[in-house]
Amino acid sequence: MNEWAIETRQLSKYYGDVKALDGLTLKAPKGSVYGYLGRNGAGKSTTLKVLLGLARATSGEAHVLGERVRPENLAILERTAYVGENKPLYEWMSAEQMVRFTRGFYKSWSDEAARRYAEMLEIPMRRKIKKLSKGNRTKVSLLLALAQGAELLMLDEPTSGLDPVYLDDVLRTLVEHHVNEGRTVFFSSHDLSEVEQIAEWVGIIDNGKMLLEARLDDIRENFRTVIASGNGLPETGENIASVTRDGNFRKYVLARGGESFAASLEQQGAAVLEVKAMSLREVFLALLRKESANVSVEVLA
Amino acid sequence: MLFHVHASSGVPLYQQIVGQVKNAVASGASRAGDSLPSVRKLAADLRINPNTIARAYQELEREGITRTVPGGGTYVADIKPGILKSEKQKRLRPLARQLAVESVQLRFDSDECVEMLKAELRELGEKP
């Protein structure tokens, strides 16, 4: 039994001189919702392409659902559903026709599930794809992916451009009918508030490397902003992810141990003005705004 | 019982759920034998991961706030009054600490600080 839905070791993918992935190590537990974060061009889409066997890794290895990833290994595609950024659909078909067209490709396809999702997501099934709004196109893509009954759902920016009500419908559907069945969702996103809501695990990558991979509740429990003022305040130290300076003031982001760090500053005579928990957005910015960050934050156990 | 989680507050979601159950119990809104929603239902209602809810329920059970009947759901347990009292103290203590810290930083002496707290209690109609 393998506990990882996705596992990569030292995975690299070069396009000429460009290192899209640079020794990426990623572990997404089975049955989790894993939010995959990074800036534009950080390597998120390349990761998904390699995992799906659409691109060949330059070095390193990857396993999906226990299967070694290779472009010629089709078993992974049978057990994995993928919704890409562009959501290719046949414009001249209706959603209903898309369903009939797609079902033949998958052994574990469920017509009953397809009907249920169509109803739950309120998709106009008879209308031609080209007449559908962006939100409804996303819902059709999601329906096609969910009805495959795949063990792993991989979504590339699944919700970009959805209004909050659509987004809420989609999140509910994902939790209720996919995650609740013990299946895994791996999705890349820019929308930190949505990731924060639904993800149990997050991985943050930059320049093709993993900066931080942790359970989101552990990030909430451990990351702290500490604002202090005084003379001779430390500029580096264990667990300090970043420092911002202004005169005698320092704003620290700590990957753990914020409270004891603040107490030690006070013992040295500094005034500690604030010790605050951080949102995912704040953690993300602290790690990626690099002017002062010493990155390489260890994975929180 | 109704729940609300705030995903960007920086407080772990499982702790938010644990805290809300404890508050409901401490305030008497939930009593022994009341049932909690199933993990699956609460996950769908809150749009959060079922593993997070399961972690909250495990924590509540470990602390003796709830009990789980195998295959039959999760219920508020018969809680010893001592536990309730200490839960209430746990909730108030950080606020008391905050008041103390701010009053030291702003250079109020302890009489002034206590007087201000008493004034607020009078405002609420409580006898200080």
Indicate whether A298 pLDDT > 60.
no
Asked if residue B46 is part of any domain, the answer here is: yes
Count of the separate structural domains present in chain B:
2
Report the pLDDT value the prediction gives residue A299, as an integer from 0 to 100. 45
B-chain CB neighbours of A218 within 8 Å are 12
Strand order of the sheet with strand B73-76? B35-36, B73-76, B66-69
Of A101-105, A256-260, B79-83, the range with the highest mean pLDDT is: A256-260
- Cβ-based neighbours of A254, under 8 Å, separated by 6 or more: A223, A224, A225, A226, A239, A240, A241, A261
Both B24 and B41 in a single domain? yes
Does residue B30 sit within a domain? Answer: yes
Same domain, B33 and B59: yes
| Predicted pLDDT at A290 | 61
CA distance A36 to A204: 6
Q: What is the mean pLDDT of residues A157-173?
A: 81
**How far apart are alpha carbons A198 and A185 in whole angstroms?**
10
Domain with residue B66: its CATH number is 1.10.10.10
User: Residue B86: which residues within 8 A CB-CB, separation 6 or more?
Assistant: none
| H runs (alpha helix) in chain B | 13-26, 39-46, 50-62, 81-105, 110-123
What whole-number percentage of chain A has pLDDT above 90?
46
Each residue's pLDDT tens digit, B67-102:
998 888 999 998 877 777 887 888 789 899 989 988
Question: Facing residues of A19 across strands?
Answer: A14
Closest CA to A283 of A199, A185, A174, A204: A204
Please give, rounded to a whole number of angstroms, the shortest distance from the CA of B116 to a CA of chain A.
22
Residue ranges per structural domain of chain A: 4-217, 223-288
- The three-state secondary structure class of A28 is strand
Q: Do the Cβ atoms of A217 and B47 come within 8 Å?
A: no
Residue B37 belongs to some domain of the structure = yes
Neighbours of B2 (CB within 10 A): 7
**Is the torsion defined by CA of A281, A211, A274, A250 positive or negative?**
negative
Give the Cα separation of A206 and A144 in Å (integer). 31
CB A217 to CB B14 under 8 A?
yes
> A220 and B10: CB-CB below 8 Å?
yes
Domain check: are B62 and B26 in the same one?
yes
Is residue A68 within 8 A of residue A234, CB to CB? The reply is: no
Query: Does B47 contact A180 at a Cβ distance shorter than 8 Å?
Result: no
Whether residue B109 is contained in a domain is answered as yes
Same domain, B39 and B72: yes
Between CA A177 and CA A175 the distance in angstroms is: 6
Same domain? For B19 and B53 the reply is: yes
What tens digit of pLDDT does each residue of A133-155 get? 888 888 898 899 989 988 999 99
User: What's the CA gap between B62 and A248, in Å, rounded?
Assistant: 46
Q: Inter-chain contact B40–A176, Cβ cutoff 8 Å? A: yes
Q: Quick check: A166 contacting B, CB < 8 Å?
A: no
- Residue A85 has what pLDDT? 74
Query: Which residue range forms the structural domain that includes residue B106?
Result: 81-123
What is the mean pLDDT of the segment spanning A9-14? 96
Does a structural domain hold residue B7? no
Summarize the confidence of residues B25-35 as an average pLDDT: 88
Does residue B60 belong to any structural domain of this protein?
yes
Distance CA B85, CA B49 (A): 31
Chain B residues whose CB is inside 8 A of the A258 CB are none
The verdict on B92 and B71 lying in the same domain is no
What pLDDT, on a 0 to 100 scale, did the predictor assign at position A238?
85
Is CATH 3.90.245.10 what the domain over A4-217 is classified as, yes or no? no
Task: Assess whether B89 and B65 both reside in one domain.
Answer: no
Q: Rounded to the nearest 5 degrees, what angle is found at the Cα of B59, between the Cα atoms of B54 and B65?
A: 110
User: pLDDT value at position A168?
Assistant: 85
Burial class (CB in 10 A: 0-12, 13-18, 19+), A295: middle
* Predicted pLDDT of residue A292: 43
Is B111 part of any domain?
yes
The pLDDT, as a whole number, for residue A300 is 52
| CB contacts, 8 Å: A196 with chain B | 7-8
Regarding whether B69 and B92 lie in a shared domain, the answer is no
Query: What does DSSP say about strands A184-189 and A209-215: parallel, antiparallel, or unpaired?
Result: unpaired
Query: Is B55 found in the same domain as B38?
Result: yes
The pTM assigned to this predicted structure is 0.84
Nearest CA in chain B to A185: B49
Model confidence pLDDT, tens digit, residues A20-73: 999 999 999 999 999 999 998 899 999 999 999 889 999 999 999 999 998 888
- Look up residue A84 and give its DSSP letter: -
- The mean pLDDT of chain A is 87
Decide: residue B36, CB within 10 A, 0-12 exposed, 13-18 middle, 19+ buried. buried
B69 within a domain of the structure (yes/no): yes
Q: Are residues B59 and B46 in the same domain?
A: yes
Average pLDDT over residues B22-30: 86
Same domain, B52 and B92: no
Indicate whether B86 and B118 sit together in one domain. yes
